[in-house]
A and B are shown apart, each in its own frame.
Chain A
Amino acid sequence: MSGIGPMYPNEKPENPYVLVSYAGHLLGNYSSRLCAGCGYGIIGHIFTRLFEDEKLDPKLYPLVLGIGCYSQMLLTVHYKTQKVLSLHGRAPALATGMKMANPQMKPIIFTGDGDCLGIGGNHFIHTCRRNLDCIILIFNNSIYAMTGGQGAPTTLYGANSTTTPYKMFENRSDGIKLALAAGATYVARTTVAHPRTFMKYFRKALKHKGTSVIELITPCVTYFGRKNLDNLGAEHLGLKGEKMDTAGKMIDWIKRNSVRVNQAKFMNEEELFNKYVIGEFRHAPDQPEYSEEYAKIQKIARGGR
């Protein structure tokens, strides 16, 4: 079948989660077109594991994906999920229509940093403002990887990309601050180097009623790692850096550049300059949720019957 990916020889005993993924269920073997070391391979594995272990009902949790390198995850998630690939940046709007037409569903939205904070910023703000019951996962690799490594609104200061070949000088946009200002009720950020923390946050978001925004910092080795040096988040220390050309070095860099929320309260702005602050930022479980409020309006419209 053209367009699915490279095929490896069949070997036993195979990873049990490969057989349960979509491509594995169709072809019996893992196949995907991701680069070696791409963070989306890790996320696909964790998501399939969560879906299988929690035994989620695929009719109640549809997946809505945007356009980007994570669209390849269509082939690696669990085979029972019902997935829609929407347009670039419009995934939260599509999920709004799905949720309001069938209020029992809880859409899980996969977006990227350019998809959600660039072209789709408007839809993201209004979905958080309405506090619609859905889970928004933002995969932040600080670059537009699908089209070849262009700079994104979240690219770090001083980084090198194909459209910022001299250096990136724009103000970095922060998805967590945007979600907090717009009114989302469960906001958290974690990285790919802490997979068990991500599983804990995701389970909490499944039980939460309201918009949950979980941002994940992922490595893009081919376009961000190979062109930038190790000392990117720590210029003020004056270290000599080397290129991050394998995923191991890049995951190490992410771990060094992450700062926990409680620790960040004691650091001044210069130290926090190019770092990622991780942890839970807000958890407000009892706020009014959009589809429930609309059900009350329907009751009023019928004359209170």
Chain B
Amino acid sequence: MSWSKIPKLLENKEKSFSLFLNKNRCGGCQACVYVCPTGILEMGNELNMRIAYTPQVKEGKAKYCTACKRCEYGCPDWCIYILDESDNENVAKKATV
């Protein structure tokens, strides 16, 4: 099987975490848009495989993401998530309860 890459919505190089969004599985329910405390997500204009609009980051707001993981806990299809690129203790790991 050939693997395709999941698109990265934003990447924060100093605190080394990235926000991934699995576009094909997203159902377009807008839970992540309403739950984000800094309000940096909005719905896009393209339809995906499930015939729904998928979220995207607002222009110029990518630096406000704090890796609080509220979008990850609130996604019903498990398709928006934060993964960290390095092994040392960083912001993304600290956000878990």
Contacts and interface: CB of A to CB of B under 8 A. Distances in A.
Interface in A234-251: 246-249, 251
Given A8-B49, A45-B78, A248-B35, A199 B29 contact: no
A195 B4 CA distance: 31
B3 A37 contact: no
Interface residues of A, number: 37
A34 interface: yes
B1 A11 contact: no
B30 A196 contact: no
B5 A12 contact: yes
A36 interface: yes
A34 B1 contact: no
A9 B96 CA distance: 29
A69 interface: no
B75 A36 contact: no
Contacts of B3: 10-12
Main secondary structure of the interface of B (DSSP, over half): loop
B73 A17 contact: no
Given A8-B24, A10-B1, A36-B52, A41 B76 contact: yes
A15 interface: yes
A196 B72 CA distance: 12
B34 A17 contact: no
B78 A37 contact: no
Given A11-B3, A248-B34, A196 B29 contact: no
A18 B80 CA distance: 12
A145 to B, nearest CB: 14
Nearest to A12: B3
Contact of B78 (A10, A17, A195): A17
Contact of B50 (A11, A36, A38, A221): A36
Given A15-B22, A199-B97, A248 B78 contact: no
Q: Which 8 A-B pairs have the closest CB atoms?
A: A36-B27, A41-B76, A37-B29, A248-B30, A248-B34, A247-B29, A195-B73, A246-B30
9 contacts: A8-B25, A13-B20, A30-B77, A30-B78, A36-B29, A36-B50, A36-B76, A248-B29, A248-B33
Interface of B: 1, 3-6, 20, 22, 24-25, 27-35, 49-50, 52, 70, 73-79, 81, 83, 96-97
Interface of A: 8-18, 30, 34-42, 45-46, 53, 192-193, 195-196, 199-200, 221, 246-249, 251-252
